[in-house]
């Protein structure tokens, strides 16, 4: 039976009466029920039944990209901006394998994504058929769970279970591999099995754990709140602000926690780390005697050498995933619980404590010193020369953008400059590929952000190396009229790797120069002309004073727009020289 002949699809039905539909239609019906509005990817022969079912949907819109990887990046970015599940799809074989990098990035950053891949017909599985690939086996390490559906009748239950897995507990991507014949099979679906889904119940701290935390706070002289990406994932930004203001504790962010506490708040004390840091953040952490780590995992780029980071301090570590407690840094008090629940309970306990733990931070000498240190340790950005210093370029961008602008980042030296210098004020506005460090990620994330937040400015801050890996999808922005701004810092290098070749390999350069030594355009790709050829607009700027006028033209255009900023190839980012928080080279 052809999909178009299944007349019941999309109509209301009584929960007591099963409805006939294809397995592909059952997936789409469930996605509609969960509020899904967008699917990102590329159709192919073995995923066409799914796409045909999406075509019949009056709710879900399909966005075709130019590389499946971008489809996964868009689903990931969509989830980071909205807090909802992102959905992507690809055909069998290379279509599915091209999704894996994006799913890996979502998995290690705990981002809820549902991925659907086509597969060869069930009789051909294991027969080395055309475009057959064991995508479920390949994706096992890059996802929370994978399914290979061989019985269409199981599809209603599988899609429900997959969605719940992706969106509960420590969130993450789930992949469902769909043989083409299974997608086409007509099954009886009882919609009542999708009703009355039990709400998620997250673990909460015990009263003993809360009282132990209060005791450690009482004993501390210089406590600090260290906040990670789990704050945003839990929607605990308001609770964090209340806790900080109640106690007067400085707030230091990890890379993934950068946008969970406003950078202009008096208690904001920057970021810690060996690369994506601020000097104030490292100083505040190193001088503390109690670190209350909320929703982070103590990644290696945050802590550096654990012996240096942890010296002379006690650690309270709160994380939803019990596997993270004590894994990297020993905890004096480890609490595997919902971070929002922990903060709420701690606030109540502090208010009830007789030791006067609540204080007015506005009169606290420690916070006054914090303000002075913030000014004294601020990195230099007021460079006037050309080629433009990237520090100046980022400062000009931040000054121009609205407070709630969404900025996305790829990996590389542009990411480190941005994390060190670009202030974030609102949650879910500083989108970054964290643990995976994926080049080419930011353009897809920026497009998804603009689709779901059309009134907010959406900017991809990117280097020329990373943009070379996503350049084709400028065409996607043009096709769907997504007015993102690509803010390209072009040094014609794989800049971070060139910096390491200079510092650690005696300036022995190999394969990091992206310029054309034997051509007319020694900067490498003429990105402006390429963008224009795809239908976008663009311009190149070579002087610092040209940046803000270019930004004004870009946002006024209402179209995808590329601003190529020619930055100093000799400029380097500040980073640890010896793996510790203290060993940071401050260079320009």
* 3-state secondary structure string across 359-395: CCHHHCHHHHHHHHHHHHCCCCCCCCCCCECHHHHHH
Helix (H, G, I), strand (E, B) or coil at 564: strand
544 pLDDT above the threshold of 70:
yes
CA 301 to chain CA centroid, Å, is 16
Which segments of the chain belong to CATH 3.40.50.1220?
A: 207-376
Q: What is the pLDDT of residue 146?
A: 98
- Quickly tell me which residue has 């945003």 as its tokens: 232
Q: Is the dihedral of CA 244, 245, 248, 254 positive or negative?
A: positive
E runs forming strands in 204-332: 223-227, 251-253, 268-271, 290-294, 314-319
How many other CB atoms are there within 10 angstroms of residue 97's CB atom? Answer: 18
Question: According to DSSP H, which parts of 140-206 are helical?
Answer: 155-167, 180-184
Q: How far apart are CA 411 and CA 28, in angstroms?
A: 34
Q: What is the pLDDT of residue 308?
A: 84
Average pLDDT score over residue span 312-340: 95
Element (H, E) at 77: helix 68-82
Q: How far apart are CA 564 and CA 544, in angstroms?
A: 12
Matching CATH number, 3-194, of 1.10.1240.10, 3.40.50.970, 3.40.50.620, 3.40.50.2300: 3.40.50.970
| Confidence band, pLDDT 50/70/90 cuts, at residue 580 | confident
9 pLDDT above the threshold of 50:
no
Nearest to 71 by CA among 583, 527, 368, 441: 441
Q: How far apart are CA 343 and CA 303, in angstroms?
A: 23
Find the range with the poorest average confidence among 92-96, 316-320, 518-522.
Answer: 518-522
Q: How far apart are CA 350 and CA 358, in angstroms?
A: 7
| Percentage with pLDDT > 90 across the chain | 80
Element (H, E) at 432: strand 430-432
Q: Are 357 and 350 in contact (CB under 8 A)?
A: yes
Q: Are 448 and 111 in contact (CB under 8 A)?
A: no
Write out the two tokens for 247.
Answer: 């106690």
Q: What is the pLDDT of residue 1?
A: 36
Q: What is the DSSP code string of 335-363?
A: EES-HHHHHHHHHHHHHH-TT-----GGG
| Percentage with pLDDT > 70 across the chain | 95
Fold of 390-585: Rossmann fold (3.40.50)
Give per-residue burial for 48-59: e unless 16+ CB within 10 Å, then b: bbbbbbbebbee
Average pLDDT score over residue span 474-502: 95
Residues 6 or more apart from 512 whose CB is under 8 A from it?
Answer: 493, 494, 495, 497, 498, 501
Average pLDDT score over residue span 384-404: 96
Find the range with the poorest average confidence among 183-197, 399-413, 438-452.
Answer: 183-197
Tell me the C-alpha to C-alpha distance, in Å, between residue 339 and each of 91, 172, 285, 319.
Answer: 38, 17, 20, 6
Q: What is the pLDDT of residue 221?
A: 94
| Confidence band, pLDDT 50/70/90 cuts, at residue 70 | very high
Average pLDDT score over residue span 90-113: 97
| Confidence band, pLDDT 50/70/90 cuts, at residue 586 | low
pLDDT tens digit sequence for 13-63: 444 578 999 999 999 999 999 999 999 999 999 999 999 999 999 999 999
Higher pLDDT, 573 or 107: 107
pLDDT tens digit sequence for 123-141: 999 998 999 999 999 999 9
- Quickly tell me which residue has 């230091």 as its tokens: 252
11 pLDDT above the threshold of 50:
no
Coarse DSSP helix, strand, coil percentages of the chain, rounded to the nearest 5 percent = 40, 20, 40
Q: Are 125 and 132 in contact (CB under 8 A)?
A: yes
Residues 6 or more apart from 518 whose CB is under 8 A from it?
Answer: none
Q: Are 539 and 553 in contact (CB under 8 A)?
A: yes
| Confidence band, pLDDT 50/70/90 cuts, at residue 12 | very low
The three-state (H, E, C) secondary structure of 190-207, written as one string: CHHHHCCCCCCCCCCCCH
Q: What is the pLDDT of residue 304?
A: 83
Q: What is the pLDDT of residue 3?
A: 40
pTM attached to this predicted model = 0.93
355 pLDDT above the threshold of 80:
no
For the chain, how big is the Rg over CA atoms in Å? 25
196 pLDDT above the threshold of 90:
no
Average pLDDT score over residue span 526-534: 97
| Confidence band, pLDDT 50/70/90 cuts, at residue 276 | confident
E runs forming strands in 67-217: 86-90, 113-119, 145-148, 173-179, 186-189
Average pLDDT score over residue span 205-221: 96
Element (H, E) at 204: none
Find the range with the poorest average confidence among 12-21, 134-143, 264-273, 513-522.
Answer: 12-21
Nearest to 253 by CA among 220, 294, 219, 217: 294
| Residues comprising the chain, all counted | 588
Matching CATH number, 207-376, of 3.40.50.1220, 3.30.200.20, 1.10.645.10, 3.40.30.10: 3.40.50.1220
Which segments of the chain belong to CATH 3.40.50.970?
A: 3-194, 390-585
**Mean pLDDT across the chain:** 92
Q: What is the pLDDT of residue 353?
A: 84
519 pLDDT above the threshold of 80:
no
Tell me the C-alpha to C-alpha distance, in Å, between residue 466 and each of 2, 135, 154, 214.
Answer: 43, 26, 41, 46
Q: Are 436 and 466 in contact (CB under 8 A)?
A: no
Residues 6 or more apart from 283 whose CB is under 8 A from it?
Answer: 373, 377
575 pLDDT above the threshold of 90:
no
Q: How far apart are CA 150 and CA 87, in angstroms?
A: 21
């Amino acid at each position: 039976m052809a999909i178009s002949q299944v007349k019941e699809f999309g109509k209301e039905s009584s929960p007591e009466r099963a409805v006939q539909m294809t397995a592909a239609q059952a997936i789409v019906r469930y996605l509609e029920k969960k509020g899904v509005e967008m699917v990102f990817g590329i159709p192919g022969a073995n995923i066409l039944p799914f796409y045909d079912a999406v075509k019949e949907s009056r709710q879900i819109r399909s966005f075709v990209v130019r590389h499946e990887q971008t489809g996964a990046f868009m689903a990931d970015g969509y989830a980071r901006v909205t807090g909802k599940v992102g959905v992507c799809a690809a055909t069998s074989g290379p279509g599915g394998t091209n999704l894996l990098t994006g799913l890996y990035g979502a998995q290690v950053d705990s981002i809820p994504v549902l991925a659907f891949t086509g597969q060869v017909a069930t009789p051909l599985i294991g027969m080395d058929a055309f475009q057959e690939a064991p995508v479920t086996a390949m994706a096992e390490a890059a996802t929370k769970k994978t399914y290979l559906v061989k019985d269409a009748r199981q599809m209603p239950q599988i899609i429900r279970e997959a969605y719940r897995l992706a969106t509960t507990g420590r969130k993450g991507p789930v992949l469902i591999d769909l043989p083409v014949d299974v997608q086409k099979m007509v099954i009886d679906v009882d919609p009542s099995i999708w009703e009355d889904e039990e709400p998620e119940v997250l673990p909460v701290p015990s009263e003993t754990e809360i009282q132990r935390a209060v005791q450690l706070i009482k004993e501390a002289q210089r406590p600090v709140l260290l906040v990670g990406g789990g704050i945003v994932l839990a929607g605990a930004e308001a609770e964090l602000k209340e806790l900080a203001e109640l106690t007067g504790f400085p707030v230091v962010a990890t890379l993934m926690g950068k946008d969970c506490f406003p950078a202009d708040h008096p208690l904001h004390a920057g970021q810690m780390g060996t690369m994506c840091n601020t000097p104030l953040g490292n100083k505040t952490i190193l001088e503390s005697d109690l670190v209350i780590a909320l929703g982070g995992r103590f990644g290696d780029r945050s802590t550096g050498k654990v012996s240096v980071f942890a010296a002379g301090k006690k650690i309270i570590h709160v994380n939803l995933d019990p596997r993270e407690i004590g894994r990297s840094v020993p905890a004096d008090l480890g609490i595997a619980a919902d971070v929002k629940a922990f903060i709420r309970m701690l606030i109540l306990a502090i208010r009830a404590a007789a030791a006067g733990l609540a204080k007015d931070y506005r009169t606290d000498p420690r916070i006054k010193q914090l303000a002075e240190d913030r000014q004294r340790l601020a990195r230099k950005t007021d460079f006037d020369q050309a080629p433009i210093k990237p520090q100046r370029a980022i400062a000009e961008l931040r000054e121009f953008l609205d407070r709630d602008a969404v900025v996305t980042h790829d990996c590389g030296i542009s990411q480190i400059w941005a994390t060190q210098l670009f202030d974030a004020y609102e949650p879910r506005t500083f989108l970054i590929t964290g643990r995976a460090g994926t080049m080419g990620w930011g353009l897809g994330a920026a497009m998804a952000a603009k689709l779901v937040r059309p009134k907010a400015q959406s900017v991809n801050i990117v280097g020329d190396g990373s943009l070379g890996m996503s350049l084709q999808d400028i065409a996607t922005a043009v096709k769907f009229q997504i007015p993102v701004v690509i803010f390209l810092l072009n040094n014609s290098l794989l800049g971070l790797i060139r910096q390491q070749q200079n510092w650690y390999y005696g300036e022995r350069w190999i394969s990091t120069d992206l310029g054309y030594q034997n051509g007319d355009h020694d900067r490498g790709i003429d990105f402006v002309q390429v963008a224009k050829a795809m239908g976008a607009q663009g311009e190149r700027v070579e002087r610092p004073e040209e940046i803000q006028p270019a930004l004004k033209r870009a946002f006024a255009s209402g179209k995808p727009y590329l601003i190529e900023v020619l930055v100093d190839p000799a400029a380097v980012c500040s980073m640890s020289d010896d793996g510790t928080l203290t060993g940071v080279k401050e260079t320009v």
